[in-house]
């Protein structure tokens, strides 16, 4: 790839208001939508994101960025509550195929005709039309429990069509939320903490079956992994009473979208196995081992982190093992087969070995990583036509807090510019190899691309 040209856009963008409008409401919600015309990204940041804005609002706000880089504030809390200058603050943003979600504190939506209100712990913004969904279920999202649907250990997952959430609740129960109609989300319980125990690492397939690990006793003394089929049947994964027996699990994609796959440590034989749970036409599952390797000799002996799909292909990243720098699973891009065969892996740039994010676009994958000390970030692109990895941003210019990739491969990110420690919004065009960045007054928390 040609050398990246660096263009500095130091003039900060002005602040405007992203307008909201009313759509047809119902008894369940306000029917409010954001106008997302021309919006490329949404950013979560403390109040006063633009360099020209006074830092008067300590609460986090949501901002929109258009194709020219202009930044505007969004009034999501006001739109949901119907109250001007609503003080509710959002602390988390995560992406899904169809929605962008924000977690709010102290946000309530009036219930039409009933004179009371509904708490909105999560607010979903549908990308296609900006419609807002108020969700009362409270997911287990904190410093120790990530909520990013593309991360293996996320406590929130979404089905492949992007219209149904499955979330571990704060008390350990498991809920599902049907967002087919954002004006009236349907929230139901898969199981409660009192009935089964603490849920962890839910995985959902194209048939809306859920594979989930459950701590059946306090302190993790007893565990099991089960599949809750959408037809009402329940299956227990063989051998799932062993602690830390599963180091990675995910659903298939395309023709294999209703199957589950997982990496399993057989402690009696000291082997790692890659196992298929194939969904049958009657909703039952059949187990089959696709690949086996000895402990310490291959790439499976680490927890996976992110899992993404590119057509029928499934890719993932391993957790970096700093105590064993030569471990073959370090700093590689994994490719998991959907039928019998070995695990393919592609070497990644060792200049930034700790890989922190993996996202797909129409022509390949984008990998974000940091140096071993976690102070500098680099970006690589994997071309799925040629299986070639190219470093497009070496770890010398930025520390990146959050990255988002558009459908054509253009990369947006927020972080710190290392030359002057300024907060920055960066954009890297894959087609033109041009990198630009804008100085920001405050440090954004996350960024999501809408197209």
Name which of 385, 344, 346, 352 is nearest 368 in CA terms: 352
Quick check: 199 pLDDT over 70? yes
Confidence of residue 7 (pLDDT cuts 50, 70, 90): very low
Q: What is the pLDDT of residue 58?
A: 52
Residue 54 lies in a domain: no
Asked if pLDDT for residue 26 goes beyond 50, the answer is: no
Higher pLDDT, 212 or 297: 212
Say if residue 265 is in the same domain as residue 403.
Answer: no
Q: Is residue 115 part of a domain?
A: no
pTM (2 d.p.)? 0.89
Per the domain annotation, does 209 fall within a domain?
yes
State which of 290, 323, 347 marks the end of a domain. Answer: 347
Among the ranges given (201-210, 339-348, 404-413), the one the predictor scored with the smallest mean pLDDT = 339-348
Question: Pairing between strand 71-74 and 17-18?
Answer: parallel
Q: Where are the alpha helices (DSSP H) in 57-116?
A: 76-81
- The better pLDDT of the pair 270, 6 is held by 270
Q: Are residues 262 and 224 in the same domain?
A: yes
Could you tell me if 308 and 432 lie in one domain?
no
The answer to the question of residue 135 being in a domain is no
Query: Based on the domain organization, do 302 and 435 belong to the same domain?
Result: no
What is the residue range of 226's domain? 196-347
Pairing of strands 354-361, 344-347: unpaired
The rounded radius of gyration (Å) of the Cα atoms in the chain is: 22
252/282 same-domain check = yes
342 — pLDDT class (breaks 50, 70, 90): confident
297 & 392 share domain? no
Per-residue pLDDT at 238:
81
Do 316 and 300 meet the contact criterion of CB atoms below 8 Å apart? no
Q: Which of 305, 331, 347 is the last residue of a domain?
A: 347
Neighbours of 435 (CB within 10 A): 20
**Average pLDDT for 376-395:** 97
Provide the 3-class DSSP secondary structure of residue 439. strand
Q: Clarify whether residues 229 and 263 are in a common domain.
A: yes
**Sheet of 223-228, strand order:** 198-204, 210-215, 223-228, 234-236
| Domain presence at residue 434 | yes
Residue ending a domain, choose from 287, 314, 347:
347
Binning pLDDT at 50, 70 and 90, where does residue 24 land? very low
pLDDT of 51 reads 55
390 and 427 fall within a common domain? yes
Residue 280 and residue 357 in one domain: no
Q: H or E element: which one contains 42?
A: strand 39-46
Structure confidence by residue, pLDDT tens digits, 303-333:
899 999 998 899 999 998 888 877 888 899 9
C-alpha–C-alpha distance, residues 59 and 96, integer Å: 24
Shared domain check, 339 and 235: yes
Do 281 and 370 share a domain, yes or no? no
251, pLDDT greater than 90 = yes
Is 294 inside any structural domain?
yes
Instruction: Give the total number of structural domains in the chain.
Output: 2
Give the model confidence (pLDDT) of 42-59 as tens digits. 999 988 776 554 444 457
Domain contains 141:
no
Residues 223 and 249 in one domain: yes
For residues 335 and 317, give the distance between their C-alpha atoms in angstroms, rounded to a whole number.
9
Whether residue 256 lies inside any domain: the answer is yes
User: pLDDT digit string (tens) for 142-188?
Assistant: 888 999 999 999 999 999 999 999 999 999 999 999 999 999 999 99
């Amino acid at each position: 790839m040609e050398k990246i040209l660096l263009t500095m856009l130091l003039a900060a963008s002005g602040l405007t208001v992203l307008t909201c409008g009313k759509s047809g409401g119902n008894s369940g919600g306000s029917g409010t939508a954001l106008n997302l015309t021309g919006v490329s990204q949404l950013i979560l940041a403390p109040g006063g994101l633009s360099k020209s804005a006074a830092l008067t609002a300590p609460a986090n706000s949501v901002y929109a960025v258009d194709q020219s880089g202009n930044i505007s504030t969004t009034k999501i809390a006001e739109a949901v509550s119907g109250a001007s200058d609503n003080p509710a603050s959002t602390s988390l943003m995560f992406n899904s195929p169809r929605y962008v979600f924000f977690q709010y504190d102290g946000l309530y939506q009036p219930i039409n005709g009933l004179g009371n209100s509904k708490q909105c712990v999560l607010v979903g913004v549908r990308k296609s039309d900006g419609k807002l969904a108020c969700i009362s279920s409270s997911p287990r999202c904190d410093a120790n429990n990530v909520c990013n649907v593309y991360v293996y250990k996320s406590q929130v997952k979404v089905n492949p069509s992007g219209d149904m959430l499955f979330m571990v609740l704060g008390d350990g129960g498991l809920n599902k939320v049907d967002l087919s109609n954002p004006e009236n989300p349907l929230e139901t319980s898969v199981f409660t903490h009192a009935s089964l125990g603490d849920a962890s690492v839910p995985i959902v397939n194209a048939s809306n079956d859920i594979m989930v690990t459950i701590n059946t006793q306090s302190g993790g003394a007893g565990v099991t992994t089960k599949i809750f089929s959408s037809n009402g049947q329940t299956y227990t994964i063989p051998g799932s009473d062993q602690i830390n027996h599963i180091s990675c699990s995910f659903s298939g994609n395309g023709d294999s979208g209703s199957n589950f796959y997982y990496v399993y440590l057989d402690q009696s034989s000291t082997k790692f196995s890659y196992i298929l749970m194939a969904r049958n036409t009657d909703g039952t599952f059949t187990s089959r081992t696709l690949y086996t390797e000895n402990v310490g000799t291959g790439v499976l002996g680490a927890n996976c982190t992110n899992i993404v799909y590119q057509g029928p292909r499934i890719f993932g990243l391993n957790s970096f093992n700093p105590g064993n720098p030569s471990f073959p699973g370090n700093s590689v891009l994994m490719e998991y087969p959907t039928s019998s065969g070995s695990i393919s892996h592609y070497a990644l740039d060792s200049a930034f070995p700790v890989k922190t994010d993996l996202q797909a676009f129409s022509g390949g994958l984008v990998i974000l990583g940091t140096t071993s000390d976690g102070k500098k970030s680099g970006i690589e692109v994997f071309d799925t036509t040629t299986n070639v990895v190219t470093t497009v941003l070496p770890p010398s210019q930025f520390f990146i807090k959050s990255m988002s990739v558009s459908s054509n491969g253009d990369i947006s990110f927020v972080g710190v510019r290392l030359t002057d420690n300024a907060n920055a919004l960066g954009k890297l065009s894959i087609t033109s190899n041009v990198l630009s960045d804008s100085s920001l007054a405050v440090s954004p928390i996350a960024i999501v691309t809408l197209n």
